[in-house]
Chain A
Amino acid sequence: MIELAPRHKFGLPIASPVMPAAGAFGYGDTYHDLVDLRALGALVTNPVSLNPREAARGQRIAVHGEHFIAHTGLPNPGVQRVLRQYRQMWERLPIPVIVHLIATSPAETAKAAERLAGIPNVVGIELGLIDSITPQRALSLLDAARAEGDLPVIVRVPFNSVDMLAPRLAEGGADALTIAAPPRAVLPVADVLGDEEAVHYIRGRLYGPALLPLLLNTLARWRSKLPVPVIACGGIATLQDAIACLELGATAVQIDALLWRDPALLQRIAEGLAKFDFSTVSG
Chain B
Amino acid sequence: MVKSQDAIFRQAYPAPPYWAARFDVPNPPAPGAFVLADLGGPLREVLFPSAIDADGFTVMLPPRHPATRLLPGTTVNVLGPLGQGFRLNGATRLLLVAEAASLPPLLPLLEAAPAVALVVEAPTRAQLPSPDRFPPAVELTLVTRDGSAGYLGPLESQDPVPANLQRVLLRLVELIAWAECACFACAPDRYPALAAIVRAARIQPAPDFAQALIQTAMPCGVGACEVCRIPTRAGEKHVCADGPVFDILTL
Interfacial residues, chain A to chain B (CB-CB below 8 A): 23-26, 29-31, 33-34, 46, 54-55, 59-61, 63, 65-68, 70, 72, 74-77, 193-194, 207-208, 257-258, 260-264
Contact = CB atoms under 8 A, between A and B. Distances in A.
A70 B219 contact: yes
30 contacts: A23-B225, A23-B226, A24-B225, A25-B224, A26-B220, A26-B223, A26-B225, A29-B223, A30-B223, A33-B3, A34-B4, A34-B79, A34-B222, A46-B224, A55-B226, A55-B230, A59-B217, A60-B228, A61-B219, A65-B42, A66-B41, A70-B219, A70-B227, A72-B226, A75-B229, A208-B42, A261-B41, A261-B42, A262-B38, A264-B4
Consensus secondary structure, chain A interface: loop
Given A26-B222, A30-B222, A67-B42, 5 more contacts: A24-B224, A46-B226, A55-B231, A72-B227, A75-B236
B217 A60 contact: yes
Nearest to B44: A261
Contacts of B217: 59-61
B234 to A, nearest CB: 12
A33 B1 contact: yes
Given A63-B43, A261-B38, A55 B236 contact: yes
Contacts, number: 88
Nearest to B77: A262
A30 B220 contact: yes
Nearest to A26: B224
Given A33-B2, A55-B229, A72-B227, A193 B62 contact: yes
A29 B224 CA distance: 8
B211 to A, nearest CB: 22
B226 A260 contact: no
A31 B220 CA distance: 9
A66 B40 CA distance: 9
B205 to A, nearest CB: 28
A66 B41 CA distance: 6
Nearest to A25: B224
A34 B219 contact: no
Given A33-B3, A46-B224, A55-B226, A61 B236 contact: no
Contacts of B236: 54-55, 75
A116 B209 CA distance: 43
Contact of A68 (B42, B62, B220, B226): B42
Contacts of B38: 261-262
B219 A257 contact: yes
A72 B4 contact: no
Contacts of A25: 224
Residue of A65, A258, A261 with most partner-chain B CB within 10 A: A261
B101 interface: yes
Interface in B190-242: 217, 219-220, 222-231, 235-236, 241
A55 B235 CA distance: 11
A37 to B, nearest CB: 13
Contact of B224 (A31, A59, A61, A194): A31
A61 B227 contact: yes
Contacts of A207: 42
A70 B225 contact: yes
A63 B235 CA distance: 28
B65 to A, nearest CB: 11
B44 A260 contact: yes
A258 B42 contact: yes
